[in-house]
């Protein structure tokens, strides 16, 4: 029961987040829309920002699961094409949430967490590169490029297709890694 209540709260929160500014979303409004008593809301979350953070963490957890499943824990030998296919599939399956957090009302905390996860994966995939000068800058550029590509695709779904985006992400990361 608790999971369905939390899911209802998260879903209603993301509907509101896609339409109005974060500072206009209230516990009272969410509870009326779900509908759920405020005491029930507070037994699951402290405030609306907790709901947003729960959504962020669930999306990032889903992306991390893809990384682990596709790599089998061995990132240097991971099939990057399969990884991109599954990542794009996950984003498509959660389109409205990703679009709200990246395009409609960019959530810098979510973007920063995602970039940190991408940079950790770079470090695991290219462990020797971590000792190179400017590694931090290169990792930041790579993470920003990847998230920027997903964001552009979501902003312009008719002007960019998945295959083109995957190809460009692969080429961009290859160019960054070639500079090491």
Q: How much is the mean pLDDT over the chain?
A: 93
Predicted confidence (pLDDT) at residue 36 exceeds the cutoff of 90: yes
Model pTM? 0.92
Mean pLDDT of 146-152: 95
Asked if 98 and 14 count as a contact pair (C-beta separation under 8 A), the reply is no
Question: Are 180 and 142 contacting, i.e. CB atoms less than 8 angstroms apart?
Answer: no
Q: What mean pLDDT comes out for the span 107-112?
A: 98
CA distance 113 to 128: 23
The reported pLDDT for the residue numbered 53 is: 99
Question: Where along the chain do its domains lie?
Answer: 1-46, 48-178
Question: Given a cut of 80, is residue 148 above it in pLDDT?
Answer: yes
* Rounded-to-integer distance, Cα 9 and Cα 24, Å: 16
Average pLDDT over residues 118-129: 87
Question: Residue 115 corresponds to which tokens in the numbers above?
Answer: 């970039």
Using pLDDT thresholds of 50, 70 and 90, give the confidence band for residue 80. Answer: confident
| Top-confidence range, 65-74, 80-89, 103-112, 125-134 | 103-112
Query: Is the pLDDT at 108 greater than 60, yes or no?
Result: yes
């Amino acid at each position: 029961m608790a999971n369905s209540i939390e899911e209802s709260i998260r879903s209603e929160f993301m509907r509101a987040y896609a339409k109005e500014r974060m500072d206009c979303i209230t516990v009272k409004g969410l509870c009326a829309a779900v509908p759920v008593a405020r005491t029930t809301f507070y037994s699951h979350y402290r405030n609306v920002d907790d709901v947003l953070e729960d959504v962020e963490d669930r999306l990032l957890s889903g992306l991390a699961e893809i990384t682990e499943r596709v790599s089998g824990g061995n990132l240097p030998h991971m099939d990057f094409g399969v990884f991109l296919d599954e990542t794009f599939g996950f984003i498509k399956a959660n389109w409205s949430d990703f679009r709200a957090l990246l395009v409609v009302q960019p959530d810098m905390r979510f973007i920063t967490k995602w970039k940190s996860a991408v940079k950790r994966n770079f470090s695991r995939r290219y462990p020797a590169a971590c000792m190179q000068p400017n590694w931090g800058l290169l990792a930041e550029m790579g993470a920003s490029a990847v998230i920027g590509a997903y964001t552009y695709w979501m902003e312009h779904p008719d002007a960019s297709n998945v295959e083109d985006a995957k190809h460009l992400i692969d080429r961009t990361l290859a160019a960054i890694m070639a500079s090491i």
